[in-house]
Structure 1
Amino acid sequence: MSNSNPMFATFTGNLQFRTSLFYLYLLSWGFSSIPELCYAALPAYCIISDSHFLPKVHDPAMLIPVIIFVTYNMLTLREYLKLGLSAQAWWNNMRMGRITATSAYLFGVLSVVLKILGLSDTVFEVTQNDDDDEDDDGMNDATKFTFDESPIFVPGTTLLLVHLTALLMLCLRLLPLVDDDGKGLRVGPEEVFCSIWVVLCFRPFMKGLFRRGKYGIPSSTIFKSTCLALVFVCMGLRI
């Protein structure tokens, strides 16, 4: 490896510590897709398996994640408003951050790792821009999601189906709502809130389930995601 590699340059003195940290961030940001995907699926898993990853609502420790959540979102929203951007632009970028982290970043890391291992060649295909911004109803909407049979849409569709299944099972009382002694909720409202938040972030995928053409998710992708979601739910119920 080169002496300028940020993993070693901090110790050899070729790079300043802050510069090394920045380069290390650039080299490793794609790997954040793995914990991002796990955390996105965690609320649904907790609902299905009757477990918790957050403190109880009445627990004072619950204030910590609530304060972090509110502070982070309020500060980022404030920055957008200071730049003259709208709250809708903030929300669009927030949800796109979750979508790209669990799809494009994930497949990008996978393709690079396979190329390093010599198991595959990374190919970048330049696609044409969609010049027609009008949908089948004549509505002009450049913010609509377009889907195809690429596997890059499988993780997002699977996440959405998993959370919808968990919430549906909860609503249909297929999961126990109270403890065995009848005291307290077994399914924490904090996990339910997080699950609904993920569904809202992946709302474009929900629209794609009911649309056709380029704005609809292909049936092959739905089939693959459904199979993966069923496996996830079955594993959660057995544990």
Structure 2
Amino acid sequence: MANQNSFPLYQKHWYNHTYKRVTESLLLVLLLLQLGYRAISVSNYSFPWFLAFVCESWFTISLFFTLSTQWSPAEIKTYPERLLQSVQEVPAVDMFVTTADPVLEPPIITVNTVLSLLALDYPPHKLACYVSDDGCSPLTFYALQEASKFAKFWVPFCKKYDVQVRAPFRYFSAKPQVSTPTNTPEFKQEWLQMKNMYDDLSQKIELETSQKSNPSHGDFSVFSNTERTNHPSIIKVIWENKEDLEDGLPHLIYISREKRPKHSHHFKAGAMNVLTRVSGLITNAPFMLNVDCDMIVNNPKIVHHALCILLDPKGQKEVAFAQCPQQFYATLKDDPFGNQMAILMKVIEIKY
């Protein structure tokens, strides 16, 4: 029997799209011929000629990039169970969450994303969650502090009952679904207890939001005399797994990078640069997981799936990052505005 450790950590299943390749290649050739015709008829230059040339050039360039990205579509299947058998110790992972406006991106949304990350099925002492707050909001900091208290109960509950969607607001909005029987008195009691605790957490954050007051005592004193676009760097360790306990919680660090009115902050790219610099000084994990504040994790083994690609012997030389497909919730019927980016997520992107 072959050693299971020699098995690949992921496999690519290529699609046979010969007909699609031929038809789109033919269309590209026809567009190139049309551009050639425009070039030799430049003597007939006029505004309609110029407008047609611009449109045809745009169509040709768009088709070229579309064809190149869809030339070899494949579906990737990962094997997390092989990962745990092929490596003696899983690597550390730093998780980045970015938020910029406590009004457009309410803290309760960021809290749910953070809780879904803290509850991942991964050794907690190997995880660290960094939250970048470009709004420099004491409300966001307060919400994260309260979330860390709730996480001490939420994380064990998720792992005990193998909860799949570990963002509380999504979990409690659906019927209880776990792999173990849900009609036991113990589960019902714990489920109700967790729901009450989450409702209390939501009410605390909503109450603090409605008061519109910035506390200036204790840990919040660093937010006094600060403006959203004019303040020094603020770095606060909300929770630290000091003893590297395997049954504890991951590190949770709040960051609000320095901003000055006359200096460009480069938006999210600048926030990511700061996150990598700060994490490099604190935990310096070799791998990073990056999500927006409203991108909850609906698969608790997402890190294992990504590492199957990044740690596979053949992947270490050719793979720099792994992109996960997104699923959208609370969308309009039939998605009239295309917010779900179906072409990107279901056609162009390599799925696994």
TM-score in terms of structure 1 length: 0.25
Larger proportion of strand: 2
Bigger Cα Rg: 2
TM-score in terms of structure 2 length: 0.18
Larger proportion of helix: 1
